[in-house]
């Protein structure tokens, strides 16, 4: 009895620490809502996670300290080294795989609890099964997303009767989950089959999804991971995991809804009718021809303009041209040109990708505007400079009802007096959708990688400023 009572002060301290950690998590998340305070929010959340981890070591009855410390050390070294080495262009796939690891960890917790036979009661078992299902889907789906973003998987594959296969796999996993819940001691065959179906479901769901939908998918899988972690936190009776999972799940769900709204595509369409190579073939035939412009003429158009709006896309990220773009911006501003940046919510390969790249290059936050803030300014701009962006500036989204992106809010770059598009070649881009902007009378294409093309523009702007 005395030993039992002696645990109360320790548990009280642990729960108080978890409560403080939860508060800091929420404050950190709030800080991340603004680019100005985002770094501070990440630091707060990081320290809170360290505190929660350290406090957990004091949990009564905790064992295997050596293995836990070893696992934390290995994970810390791998994350630190990879985080330092990863290029900003590769950040989306790093986020995808790390997100998958969270879902996989949640699923592994459930698998271990099932193997030990320590999941008791229908409520706890149901949450364990749901967490395992969602975590497994998030893990395998994130692995596919990583492979797509890394270029390992170059095509979007769609099975015959794809949605029917998805439904059958989901029903099979749910049926096995119900059997696990109903059994006094889960049968190992049922548990293994359940996890196999759940992992396959994650793969089959994600494989047909193309680049246009990838930012939404990454956000959705992130929400899945949070939900899985929260459920397994309940199974373990760990308040810190419950709160962290709920916060990640709720914020990820809200972000996914915002991203889907930015594309004017219901989340169900992203999953069941994704924009892939096959789906992107729709739309009316684009008339006209692409007209090329040289670096000197592009430089002259911007050097003697009153206002230039720059629209960055993944092509700028691939070329690592954000520093060159900022150098060019500073030169134009010295010549009296007003230069601002327009960011579409789904530009790049993950939410906020372009904002992070521009911030890394030193672009002030006050020069970066979202779609709603900047769209009314394009008609007054002398030049809209589009660097490696495709779908987010495609006017077919406004006019072509047969286009896969019809109804998607776009940046009105085509309304500028002149449009310069920096593009590597004459292809259709990552999503496979032909862009009507490239054929408009006021549009000229500057071919080449963004790094090389902007570098040449800089040289000509320098010559004009002498």
DSSP secondary structure code for residue 380 in this structure: G
Enter the tokens of residue 218: 């990454």
As a whole number of angstroms, the distance between CA 244 and CA 46 comes to 12
Closest CA to 34 of 346, 312, 366: 366
State the CB neighbour count (10 A cutoff) for residue 305: 22
Question: How far apart are alpha carbons 375 and 353 in whole angstroms?
Answer: 20
Side by side, the strands of the sheet bearing 368-370 are 368-370, 338-343, 307-312, 383-387, 418-423, 443-447
Annotated active-site positions, please?
A: 391
d(CA 78, CA 125): 33
Mapped onto helix, strand or coil, the DSSP state of residue 60 is coil
H/E segment holding residue 311: strand 307-312
Q: How far is CA 284 from CA 281, 394, 433, 435, 440, in A?
A: 9, 13, 11, 11, 15
Closest CA to 271 of 169, 382, 191: 169
């Amino acid at each position: 009895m005395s030993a039992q009572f002696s645990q109360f002060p320790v548990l009280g301290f642990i729960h108080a620490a978890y409560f403080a950690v939860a508060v800091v998590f929420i404050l950190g998340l709030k800080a991340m809502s603004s680019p100005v305070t985002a770094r501070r929010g990440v630091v707060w959340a990081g320290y809170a996670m360290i505190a929660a981890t350290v406090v957990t070591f004091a949990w009564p009855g905790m064992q295997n300290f050596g293995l836990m410390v070893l696992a934390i050390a290995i994970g810390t070294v791998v994350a630190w080294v990879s985080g330092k080495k990863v290029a900003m262009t590769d950040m989306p796939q790093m986020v995808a795989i790390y997100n998958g690891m969270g879902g996989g960890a949640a699923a592994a917790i459930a698998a271990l609890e099932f193997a030990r036979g320590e999941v008791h009661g229908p409520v706890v078992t149901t949450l364990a099964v749901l967490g395992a299902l969602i975590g497994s889907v998030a893990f395998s789906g994130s692995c596919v997303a990583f492979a797509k973003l890394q270029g390992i998987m170059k095509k979007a594959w769609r099975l015959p009767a794809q949605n029917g296969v998805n439904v059958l796999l989901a029903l099979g996993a749910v049926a096995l989950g119900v059997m696990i819940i109903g059994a006094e001691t889960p049968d190992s065959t049922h548990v293994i089959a359940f996890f196999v179906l759940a992992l396959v479901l994650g793969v089959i769901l994600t494989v047909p999804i193309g680049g246009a939908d990838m930012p939404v998918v990454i956000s959705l899988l992130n929400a899945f991971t949070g939900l899985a972690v929260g459920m397994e936190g309940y199974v373990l009776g760990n308040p810190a995991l419950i709160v962290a999972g709920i916060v990640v799940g709720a914020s990820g769900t809200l972000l996914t809804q915002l991203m889907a709204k930015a594309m004017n595509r219901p989340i169900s369409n992203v999953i069941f009718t994704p924009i892939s190579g096959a789906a992107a073939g729709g739309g009316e035939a684009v008339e006209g021809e692409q007209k090329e412009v040289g670096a000197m003429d592009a430089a002259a158009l911007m050097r003697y303009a009153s206002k230039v709006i720059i629209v960055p896309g993944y092509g700028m990220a691939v070329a690592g041209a954000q520093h060159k773009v900022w150098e060019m911006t500073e030169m134009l501003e010295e010549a009296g040109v007003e230069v601002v940046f327009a960011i579409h919510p789904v530009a790049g390969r993950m939410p906020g990708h372009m904002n992070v790249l521009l911030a890394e290059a030193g672009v002030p936050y006050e020069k970066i505007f979202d779609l709603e803030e900047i769209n009314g300014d394009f008609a007054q701009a002398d030049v809209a400079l589009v660097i490696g962006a495709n779908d987010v500036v495609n006017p077919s989204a406004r006019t072509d009802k047969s286009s896969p992106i019809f109804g998607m809010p776009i940046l009105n770059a085509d309304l500028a007096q002149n449009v310069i598009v920096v593009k590597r070649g004459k292809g259709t881009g990552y999503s496979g959708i032909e862009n009507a902007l490239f054929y408009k009378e006021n549009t000229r294409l500057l071919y080449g990688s963004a790094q090389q093309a902007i570098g040449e523009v800089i040289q000509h702007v320098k010559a004009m400023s002498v």
